[in-house]
Chain A
Amino acid sequence: MSALLQARGVRKSFGGVEVLHGVDLDAAAGSVLALLGENGAGKSTLVKILAGDYTADAGEFVIDGLQYDHLNPITTRAAGIRMIHQEFQDAPTLTVGENISLGRLPTRRGVVHWREVRTRAERVLGQMGVDLDPDAPVGSLRIGERQIVEIARALSDEARVLILDEPTAALSQQEVDRLFEFLDRLRSQGAAIIYITHRLDEVHAISDRVQVLRDGSVAALGQTKEFDRRTLVQAMIGRSAGEVSRPARRSWQLGEKPVLELRNAGVERAFADVSLKVFPGEVVALYGQLGSGSAEVAEAVFGLRSLDAGEVRVDGKPAPARGPATSIGRGVGFVPADRKGEGILGVRPVAENVAAPSWRRLARFKVLVSRRSEAAAYRRWHDALSIRSRNDPLQAIATLSGGNQQKVVLARWLERGSPLLVMNEPTRGVDVGARAELYRSMRDLARQGIGMLVATSDYEEVVQVADRAVVMARGRAVAELDGGEITTQRLLTEAGG
């Protein structure tokens, strides 16, 4: 095997914490290497070093027989290493042609040679077998097409090593198939491809070799055909699999009528044919990776997205999307994923943050709110949720830690008396200790008869908090796990399939 790109003993620390402990990697010409690992295993850091975005603390690199002590964007570019990032790095207002030639627009006598821009785009798109208008603004394309433009840019730039960081997160199955065709063609033309993914089915569909990272070290390496789904998951989660514990067995009865019911619900380009029920006193997780549709289902339940198919019923009654105020009136509370951007009123006091949806009820004549009634609302939940703060209702919420901010957001809906809570990534950016407390609070709320729908991409979260789990992939509910069936192994396996 001729390695086009070799990395040996790559080390990297951030803020005194080493996240790569001397990792090797080989990318061979005419071969696809699948790079796997949990969030935080070091995949993205490793490939960013290979692309020259980060500088390694230690390590040696051989590209095409030439040895380097470290890589920078200029050397990697000259060597033909191209990376497709997870987030698009295109210019949405520019055309397909301009994006493909971005940063190296052909010129003639100092003026942009527009005909060449177009022919270059047509040539590379033709090679890829896609029919895209070179003059269309990239922002007007579908996500999958934008991805293709990104790849076309890398190809037209004579990529010899192509790195793709979770390129299919937002793609439909059709678009994924198309992408794999390109990659296949590239491979036969002798390119070396490094492919990062969370999806186990893709590993077997596209890769020749597989390398699994865990906690900054190589946990497994070999020919793809030597691994099956189970051994890959085993390698990814390692010992940590047993460390996450299930909540105590439920000691309370669920309500008889579902507080939430989805019937064959669908939103175009997000999810389709999702049916589920949440009963009072139950925590149901919607587990799925980014782009699987789980977050979108949660948003649709709260009325932020209109269904194109099926229906949502809250407390037995049809609940078409009419915006947040109406949903709240129906008894739905919502905890958004982006706490700072969408959850908290940062500069305002914690008491107002708790009281906001309940102001009309707390007010005299529905109009006159007092600091005292808000403070009382805050104190009602301060101890119950063990919110750690100065116990000062006027403290600005932004000064609390992430976990405590999230508790205040929870308290907001408890004060409102919402029988159904919809949460989107409730513990994102919350440290481990606070996470455990939040899970305990959520279980407590369930005991009190509140129904919860928790959309999350964190499988350990599902294991620790859910009574039932609906697994989503590519906009579909692919499995439903109940009680003891909810294990990290099962979740990863089902979501990968």
Chain B
Amino acid sequence: MTEHENVAAPPAVVPAEPLLRSQRARRILARVPEWAVLVVVLGALIAFFSARSPYFFQTDNFINILIASAVVGIIACPTTMLLIAGQFDLSVGAGVALVTAMFATSFVGGDGAFLSVLLGLAVGVGIGALNGFLVTVVGVNALITTIGTLGAMRAFAYIRTDGQAIGFEGFTTLGIDRPFLNIPWMVWIFVLIVLITGFVMKQTTYGRALYAIGANPTAARLAGIRTRYVIFIGFVISGLAVGLTGLLVASQTGQGSGNAAIGLEFQAVTAVILGGASLAGGRGSIIGTILGVLVIGVINNGLVLLNVVSFWQDVVRNLLLIAAVAIDQLRLRLARE
């Protein structure tokens, strides 16, 4: 009679009337993507800051917002892919710092831009492969793995630079030069990464496999998906983005430093969760993430223009992360009902 064990007591609270009685209205609403609400939020924020500050609604300011969002945005794309598969990579910020350090020491040491760029990318991919190996082959939980590599990579960066910022000149293309429309390369690269990852997640078997693994890793494996291989590749992609971002940051700041990109992983995760990816896996989208990135970018920018002390930006951003996770939980609960 064990099937009766789960018989629940009648609900103490009378369930509320369904918000939408008409089946058709529900069906239409079900088709509205989760990120639609972010478009509204973004519009409201833009309207709010435009009304409060004359400097906000300017082309140059929008370009500034994009520049400020590019680094987080590029990292947030592979973070989205991994989170959709139920995986985390928290080592991205430290990885970026190590890439800047490796690049700067190599570039200053006279290795030439080409070799130094290759080194930076290789370091990024190497970190990703290490994370992927530990998670899929050794079987260490992704959170623990990447917290561990986070600490180690940042320490390596300090060791490599002797704890100093290594400055250099003559490597401004990626981070500073503006090839057309007065928009710098890093923003164009950001756009390109968004397009590529968005395409991968929506249109390819690889993207489908990530969603399937996040929804139910065992079922995905039993349906013939080589789950460990797929996740390993996910970490390598994350590492590649780390390499690229490290080069952008180095170019933008003109230095390599162990202090680069502190907290980048949390900014990325905040944007991803805000964008509708579920901590439980199996849900999320690149476009949602990008809207999340832009919401954060607009808030940061607006608060600066309103002369709010920068520490308050940290408060807002972290509250936003909690709010995003809370919304995710609410959504899961609603989905269950």
Contact = CB atoms under 8 A, between A and B. Distances in A.
Interface string B190-212: 00000000000001111011011
A352 B282 CA distance: 12
A45 interface: yes
Contact of A367 (B204, B219, B220, B224): B204
Contacts of A40: 1, 3
Name the residue in A341, A356, A367 with the highest tally of chain B Cβ atoms < 10 Å from its Cβ. A356
B221 A324 contact: yes
Contacts of B223: 324, 328, 345, 356-357, 412
Contacts of B1: 14, 19, 40-45
B13 interface: no
A14 B209 CA distance: 42
Contacts of A336: 219, 222
Contacts of B221: 323-324
Nearest to B211: A348
Interface in B1-48: 1-4, 7, 27, 31
The B contact surface, by secondary structure, is helix
B176 interface: no
A342 B225 contact: no
Given A356-B223, A367-B204, A348 B2 contact: no
A112 interface: no
Name the residue in A324, A341, A352, A355 with the highest tally of chain B Cβ atoms < 10 Å from its Cβ. A324
Contact of B208 (A41, A45, A347, A369): A369
A352 B222 contact: no
Nearest to B23: A390
A348 B203 contact: no
B329 interface: no
B297 to A, nearest CB: 29
Interface string B303-337: 00000000000000000000000000000000100
B218 interface: yes
B208 A359 contact: yes
B4 A343 contact: no
A334 B203 contact: no
Given A324-B224, A328-B224, A360 B216 contact: no
A348 B204 contact: no
B289 to A, nearest CB: 17
B52 interface: no
Nearest to A412: B223
A125 B206 CA distance: 56
Contacts of B226: 325
B283 interface: yes
Contacts of B212: 345, 348, 352, 356
B215 interface: yes
Given A44-B2, A367-B205, A14 B7 contact: yes
Given A19-B1, A324-B224, A356-B223, A347 B203 contact: no
Contacts of A347: 215, 278, 280, 282-283, 335
A56 interface: no
Contacts of A352: 208, 211-212
Interface in A387-428: 390, 392, 394, 396, 398, 412
Contacts of A41: 1
A359 to B, nearest CB: 4
A390 B31 CA distance: 13
A356 B335 contact: no
Given A325-B224, A356-B225, A368 B215 contact: no
A14 B4 contact: yes
Name the residue in B1, B7, B204 with the highest tally of chain A Cβ atoms < 10 Å from its Cβ. B1
Nearest to A42: B1
A366 B7 contact: no
Contact of B219 (A15, A344, A363): A344
Contact of A342 (B3, B208, B218): B218
Nearest to B204: A367
A341 B134 CA distance: 25
A342 B27 contact: no
A344 B222 CA distance: 10
Nearest to B226: A325
B220 A15 contact: no
A396 B336 CA distance: 11
A140 interface: no
A247 to B, nearest CB: 26
Name the residue in B203, B208, B216, B224 with the highest tally of chain A Cβ atoms < 10 Å from its Cβ. B224
A363 B207 CA distance: 12
A45 B27 contact: no
A370 interface: yes
A182 to B, nearest CB: 25
Contact of B205 (A15, A346, A366): A366
Interface string B89-117: 00000000000000000000000000000
Contacts of B204: 363, 367-369
Interface in A308-354: 323-325, 328-329, 334, 336, 341-348, 352
Nearest to A343: B219
A357 B223 CA distance: 5
Given A324-B222, A352-B212, A357-B224, A345 B282 contact: yes
Contacts of B283: 347
Contacts of B220: 345, 356
Interface string B157-198: 000000000000000000000000000000000000000000
Contacts of B2: 44, 86
Given A360-B205, A368-B204, A342 B215 contact: no
B219 A345 contact: yes
Nearest to A352: B208
B203 A370 contact: yes
24 contacts: A19-B1, A19-B4, A43-B1, A302-B222, A323-B221, A334-B222, A336-B222, A341-B219, A342-B216, A342-B222, A343-B219, A346-B215, A346-B216, A347-B282, A347-B283, A348-B215, A352-B211, A356-B225, A357-B223, A359-B205, A360-B205, A367-B206, A369-B204, A398-B335
Given A328-B224, A345-B215, A356-B224, 6 more contacts: A45-B1, A302-B222, A341-B218, A343-B222, A347-B278, A347-B280
Interface of B: 1-4, 7, 27, 31, 203-206, 208-209, 211-212, 215-216, 218-226, 278, 280, 282-283, 335
Interface of A: 14-15, 19, 40-45, 86, 302, 323-325, 328-329, 334, 336, 341-348, 352, 355-357, 359-360, 363, 366-370, 390, 392, 394, 396, 398, 412
5 shortest interchain CB distances as A-B pairs: A14-B4, A45-B1, A345-B215, A328-B224, A356-B223
